[in-house]
Amino acid sequence: MRIGIIGAGQLGQMLGHAAHDLGMECIFVDPSDLPPAQECGEVLKAPFDDADALAHLARICDVVSYEFENVSVAALKSISDIVPVFPPPDALQHAQDRLAEKLLFQGLGIPIPGFYPVDGRADLDAAVAAVGLPMVLKTRRFGYDGKGQALIRNAADLDQAWDALGGAALIAEAWVQFDYEVSAIGARNQAGEIISFPLSQNQHVGGVLHSSRAPLEDEVLRQRAEGYLHRMLEKLEYVGVLALELFVANDQLLANEFAPRVHNSGHWTIEGAQPSQFTAHLLAITGAKLAAPNMRGFAGMLNLLGEIPNTARDLAIGTLHDYGKDPRPGRKLGHITVLADSAVERDQQMSKIEKIVNLLSVENVTQAQPEQAKPGKLAQK
């Protein structure tokens, strides 16, 4: 079975390794020199929306998927006559536009923070009236990891936020004083079988994922989040892995966004679950059966951003995943996973690693986006 993947970053790399274990082959399309996934499959060097490269990929593969969200939906649709493309381009279209995404959540009865579309400066004032303060102004498209966002704490922030982001299609959202963030990750195959991974609890720093822990042992939240996830998978006639990110605020679950792909908050599944999210994605898109994931213990994941210090390479605990990327402030270069027999032991291991590795990850993230750490400050794209 040959799988075409648009994008050869670290998610492609992890898919490529999982494919190898399943006896499948991955071929990637990516314009970069030396992308991470080159170590596990051929890379066709071309822009992500290059019509000839994608048509070639479609002809030589049994199925085509993608590993990031800014793939052209039109380009995907143009090859779906030649080869099955999963997840469905229609799901990607919803994920690419925060307004379409919110309307999808709303239509499915999935609770979300208050929101208001902002297309002009006057809308921003109307958004304050509709949503209240503080609120966060976000670009509707091409935002990720907290980029393209401005936090508005009071009326004095409005002009600055507008200067930073005005011009693009925007959406204002109520700022949620959440207790913590979780992600619900699941997969659906072509036959409509659905599996879900245990909820993972996520910590972000400056809008970027810092760490994840699973399973979150809260049966009520798990059932509710899984219910929302199932609604989405079914409504979108989804095939592949989908990650739904939610805020937990006063026992309420509010959807933030979804990713039609394998997700950073599910990297713990490589060691922590059988199948991993990567294996589940490959099984789902190739028409295989899906079995409910077995947990191998209490899992945790720490992102390594900006650089991978030598201390991270010499750890006696945990497993280091080095994506082989050039260091750059704030860039996701790798992660460390831990697996333990109890949540307490897992958390102890994670704290130990954070100390040994000197939490460079947090420092770098904060340096890369200093403005975004607190409400009232602005983050620009």
* Contact footprint for ligand AMP (CB under 6 A): 113, 136, 143-144, 146, 173, 175-176, 181, 204, 207, 256-257
Q: How far is the CB of 379 from ligand AMP (least distance, A)?
A: 9
Q: For residues 154 and 117, give the distance between their C-alpha atoms in angstroms, rounded to a whole number.
A: 19
- Which DSSP letter does residue 140 get? S
Q: For residues 372 and 63, give the distance between their C-alpha atoms in angstroms, rounded to a whole number.
A: 39
SS3 category, 142: coil
Q: In terms of DSSP H, where are the helices of 143-216?
A: 158-165
Taking the least distance from each CB to ligand AMP, the nearer of 54 and 243 is: 243
Main-chain dihedrals φ then ψ at residue 337, nearest 5 degrees: -110, 150
Min. distance of Cβ 177 from ligand AMP in angstroms? Answer: 8
d(CA 265, CA 197): 11
Provide, rounded to whole angstroms, the least separation between the CB of residue 342 and ligand AMP. 27
Q: Which is nearer to ligand AMP, 176 or 305 (CB)?
A: 176
207 vs 266, which CB is nearer to ligand AMP? 207
Nearer to ligand AMP, 53 or 164 (CB): 164
Residue 173 Cβ vs ligand AMP, minimum distance, rounded to whole Å: 4
Q: Where are the extended beta strands (E) located within the chain? A: 2-6, 25-29, 42-44, 63-66, 115-118, 135-139, 149-152, 170-174, 180-188, 194-196, 200-205, 208-214, 240-249, 252-259, 273-274, 294-295, 298-305, 319-322, 332-340
Mark residue 56 as left, alpha or beta (left: phi above 0; alpha: psi -120 to 50; beta: remaining). Answer: alpha
What residue is closest to ligand AMP based on CB? 176
Task: Specify the 3-state DSSP secondary structure of 299.
Answer: strand
Kindly state the smallest distance separating residue 249's Cβ from ligand AMP, in Å.
9
Q: Which is nearer to ligand AMP, 24 or 232 (CB)?
A: 232
How many of the other CB atoms lie within 10 Å of CB of 342? 10
Least separation, in Å, of the C-beta of 144 and ligand AMP? 6
Of 86 and 175, the one with the shorter C-beta distance to ligand AMP is: 175
